[in-house]
């Protein structure tokens, strides 16, 4: 366990405005930090800028404020952090933990996939590029060993990266640094002690723990909160056309988010301003009351 004072964070990707699902992750991390008397930092994960939507970052900031989710200090912006990611990649190169890869997406199309639907890299370039091939991406060599980690909601978990992920990308063929590398570098830079985020990221954690080990960075304490799904059982996201958080009736939306986290506000607070509901939830926050199962959105997504 980490005994440093609590520092949490919310790290949205500005691919669109926040929706009911991202609100749940934001509320959970805010409450967990505030209930512990901790700081709550904001990081705009605009690393994959071709996928970002112009104006979405500003909208997200306004949405957080309107929902009473105020953050501490200056926001960290990933597109300004290239030098830090490059330094981390250089460290990995120095210790020979990474290698260049020439594989294209179509060459890997037939590779086996894990339960998340991700390709398990078959190791084609692990022992050197094929003759005449050009390096495109950089991959981390993973061990054939269990990576163990503790999730405060899910308990003790483990994953064998070699079997379930394969050597994974830290710098992409388009030159962008990969999320896995950036998140580890940024969590350490921001001094994050506790990560509370959506369960869609649960199985990214072993990759991140492994990178922390390689880079000599501390491992935060993790908790993955349930996702909100639409009536079809799909995660709310831009791809499933989840609608942006509404500008009216915010109290109802906040009450639904709190209910999804196992903390339904008392009926007299159900229509109250989000900040008032948050103040109540902060006093009553018990992470063990957060369910593992996802909630279904009440409103049409
Ligand atoms: N940017 C990621 C997302 O919006 C979250 C990353 C994280 O919390 O580690 O899904």
Q: Are 147 and 161 in contact (CB under 8 A)?
A: yes
Per the confidence metrics, is the pTM higher than 0.85? yes
Q: Compute the distance from residue 146 Cα to the ligand 1 centre, in Å.
A: 24
The number of residues in the chain equals 301
Same domain for 105 and 147, yes or no, is: yes
Same domain for 76 and 102, yes or no, is: no
Q: Is residue 228 part of a domain?
A: yes
Same domain for 116 and 152, yes or no, is: yes
Instruction: For residue 156, list its beta bridge partners.
Output: 150
Task: Report the C-alpha gap between 74 and 42 in whole angstroms.
Answer: 8
Same domain for 141 and 202, yes or no, is: no
pLDDT tens for each residue of 21-47:
999 999 999 999 999 999 999 999 999
Residue 96, classified by CB atoms within 10 Å of its CB into exposed (0-12), middle (13-18) or buried (19+), is exposed
Q: Compute the distance from residue 240 Cα to the ligand 1 centre, in Å.
A: 17
Neighbours of 81 (CB within 10 A): 17
Same domain for 274 and 131, yes or no, is: no
- For residue 166, what are the contacts with CB-CB under 8 A and spacing of at least 6? 119, 120, 121, 122, 123, 142
Residue with the nearest Cα to atom 6 of ligand 1? 11
Q: Is residue 86 part of a domain?
A: no
What pLDDT score does 3 carry? 62
- Nearest Cα neighbor of 21 from 283, 268, 243 is 243
Q: Is 237 in the pocket of ligand 1 (CB under 6 A)?
A: no
Q: Compute the distance from residue 130 Cα to the ligand 1 centre, in Å.
A: 34
Q: Is 201 in the pocket of ligand 1 (CB under 6 A)?
A: yes
Same domain for 151 and 18, yes or no, is: no
Q: Compute the distance from residue 268 Cα to the ligand 1 centre, in Å.
A: 33
Q: Is 13 in the pocket of ligand 1 (CB under 6 A)?
A: yes
What pLDDT score does 301 carry? 40
What pLDDT score does 233 carry? 76
Same domain for 36 and 77, yes or no, is: yes
The boundaries of the domain holding residue 145 are 98-179
- Of 179, 213, 228, the residue that ends a domain is 179
Q: Is 183 in the pocket of ligand 1 (CB under 6 A)?
A: yes
Q: Is residue 93 part of a domain?
A: no
Number of structural domains found in the chain: 2
Q: Compute the distance from residue 247 Cα to the ligand 1 centre, in Å.
A: 23
Q: Are 182 and 78 in contact (CB under 8 A)?
A: yes
Q: Is residue 130 part of a domain?
A: yes
Tens of pLDDT along the chain (301 residues) come to 556 699 999 999 999 999 999 999 999 999 999 999 999 999 999 999 999 999 999 999 999 999 999 999 999 999 999 999 999 999 999 999 999 999 999 999 999 999 989 999 999 999 999 999 999 999 999 999 999 999 999 999 999 999 999 999 999 999 999 999 999 999 999 999 999 999 999 999 999 999 999 999 999 999 999 988 777 777 777 677 778 999 889 999 999 999 999 999 999 997 899 999 999 999 999 999 999 887 776 654 4
Same domain for 102 and 69, yes or no, is: no
Same domain for 73 and 202, yes or no, is: yes
């Amino acid at each position: 366990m980490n005994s440093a004072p609590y520092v949490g964070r919310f790290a949205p990707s500005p691919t669109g405005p926040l929706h009911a699902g991202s609100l749940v992750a934001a509320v959970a991390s805010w409450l967990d930090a505030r209930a512990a008397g901790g700081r709550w930092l904001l990081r705009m994960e605009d690393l994959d800028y071709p996928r970002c939507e112009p104006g979405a970052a500003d909208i997200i900031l306004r949405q957080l404020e309107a929902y009473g989710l105020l953050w501490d200090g200056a926001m960290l912006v990933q597109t300004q952090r290239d030098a830090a990611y490059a330094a981390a990649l250089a460290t990995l190169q120095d210790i020979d933990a990474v290698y260049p890869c020439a594989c294209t997406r179509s060459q890997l199309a037939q590779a086996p996939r894990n339960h998340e639907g991700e390709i398990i890299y078959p190791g084609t370039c692990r022992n050197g590029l094929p003759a005449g091939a050009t390096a495109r991406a950089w991959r981390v060599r993973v061990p054939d060993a269990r990576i163990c980690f503790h999730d405060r909601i899910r308990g003790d978990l483990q994953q064998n990266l070699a079997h379930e992920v394969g050597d994974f990308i830290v710098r992409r063929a388009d030159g962008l640094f990969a999320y896995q590398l950036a998140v580890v570098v940024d969590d350490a830079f921001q001094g994050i002690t506790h990560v509370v985020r959506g369960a869609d990221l649960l199985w990214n954690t072993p990759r991140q723990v492994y990178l922390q080990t390689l880079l000599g960075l501390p491992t935060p304490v993790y908790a993955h909160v349930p996702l909100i799904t639409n009536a079809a059982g799909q995660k709310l996201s831009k791809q499933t056309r989840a609608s942006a958080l509404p500008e009216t009736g915010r109290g109802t939306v906040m009450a639904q988010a709190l209910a999804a986290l196992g903390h339904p506000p008392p009926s007299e607070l159900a229509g109250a301003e989000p900040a008032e509901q948050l103040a109540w939830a902060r006093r009553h926050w018990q992470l063990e009351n957060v369910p593992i199962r996802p909630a279904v959105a009440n409103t049409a997504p």
